[in-house]
Amino acid sequence: MYLDKYRLHGRTAFITGAGRGIGLAAAHAFSEAGARVVISDHSETLLAEGLATLRAAGRDAHAVVLDVTRADDVKRAADEADTGFGGIDILFANAGIAWPDTGGEDMTDEVWRRMIDVNLNGVFWCCRSFGAYMLARGRGSIITTGSMSGLISNRPQRQAHYNAAKAGVHHLSRSLAGEWAARGVRVNSIAPGYIDTTMSGGGLRTEGLGPVWLEATPMRRAGTAEEIASVALFLASDASSLLTGSVIVADAGYCVW
Ligand code: NDP
């Protein structure tokens, strides 16, 4: 009875930023649970490599090149997914960037705008376009990738742009959750801590700020992409049927320190 709630048979999931890292791990988790998965990324090469790992595992997987900052392309992808795949049941709006780190006083317009464009605007374009089809069908689960940096300022890292964008993702998700709950669409967010992916340069590195982060992490380790994918699977599935507007913090205890 309980395990069945995690199964995603008959559902289709669309995942952004899924050429590697957390997005690709989530594609493996969703497809292992029975979903058809559509992975997307702005890098065609990464996408092809990611798709190959899913196909090698015998998954029902497809790939769409998509830059989430292009609102028109996002809308087109949602339109095509609706006709081509018979609708999207799960959206994992996960694509993001984290660099460069820049102190607020030195932040250029270009660096600020790019961060907001990918990490906040991109999430909204996806929620809006895919959410419209979910609302029309009266069902759907949207998961966004925020960050523990959307909850705390993580001061040593000097990332006001990243922190602001991720706090925006959490509140955007909560706001849409409130708007859409009565119409069958749930919206939840994940706030990962340091995760061992390309973005973090391999998690808690030994050089630079690595030792500072490690000391501040109660579990004394970085997380894995698969550990975040497990949270995404929970939120995608009926196992989380009562959750909407939630921000699940998965950070090895960093925020409670
Ligand atoms: P990765 O860099 O490994 O994967 C992210 C993927 O998204 C990359 O392939 C990246 O391509 C792609 N991407 C970047 N910009 C766009 C865009 N405009 N349109 C489509 N795809 C794009 O990162 P993670 O898997 O670690 O991160 C996934 C999410 O998790 C992000 O939102 C990140 O902010 C968040 N997160 C990660 C943490 C960590 O420690 N790793 C901690 C907290 C949150 P490219 O290589 O070109 O950038």
Domains with residue ranges and CATH for the chain: 3-246 (3.40.50.720)
In eight-state DSSP terms, residue 118 is I
Residue the block writes with tokens 């790992």: 53
Give the rounded distance of the alpha carbon of 81 from its chain centre: 18
Tell me, what's the pLDDT at 257? 66
Q: What is the CA radius of gyration of the chain?
A: 17
How many beta carbons lie within 10 A of that of residue 126, not counting itself? 27
Tell me, what's the pLDDT at 216? 87
Whole-model pTM above 0.95?
Answer: yes
Question: Which residue among 41, 45, 118, 221 has the greatest number of ligand 1 atoms within 8 angstroms of its CB, and so is best to mutate?
Answer: 41
pLDDT for residue 204 is more than 70: no
Cis amide prior to 156 (ω within 30 degrees)? no
- CA 182–ligand 1 middle distance (angstroms): 31
Tell me, what's the pLDDT at 101? 87
Q: 198 by DSSP, 3-state: which?
A: coil
Q: Which of 6, 162, 194, 254 is catalytic?
A: 162
Q: Which residues line ligand 1 (CB under 6 A)?
A: 16-17, 19-23, 41-43, 46, 66-69, 94-98, 118, 122, 145, 147, 192, 194-195, 197-200
ipTM of model over 0.95: yes
- CA 96–ligand 1 middle distance (angstroms): 4
User: Could you tell me if 9 and 34 are in contact, meaning their C-beta atoms sit under 8 angstroms apart?
Assistant: yes
Nearest CA owner, ligand 1 atom 8: 17
C-alpha–C-alpha distance, residues 126 and 171, integer Å: 15
**CA trace torsion 100, 176, 68, 193 (10° rounding):** 40
The question of whether 162 is a catalytic residue gets the answer yes
pLDDT for residue 207 is more than 70: no
Q: Which residue blocks in 65-159 are alpha helix, DSSP H?
A: 71-84, 109-116, 122-137
- pLDDT band for position 230 (50/70/90)? very high
- CA 19–ligand 1 middle distance (angstroms): 9
- CA 17–ligand 1 middle distance (angstroms): 6
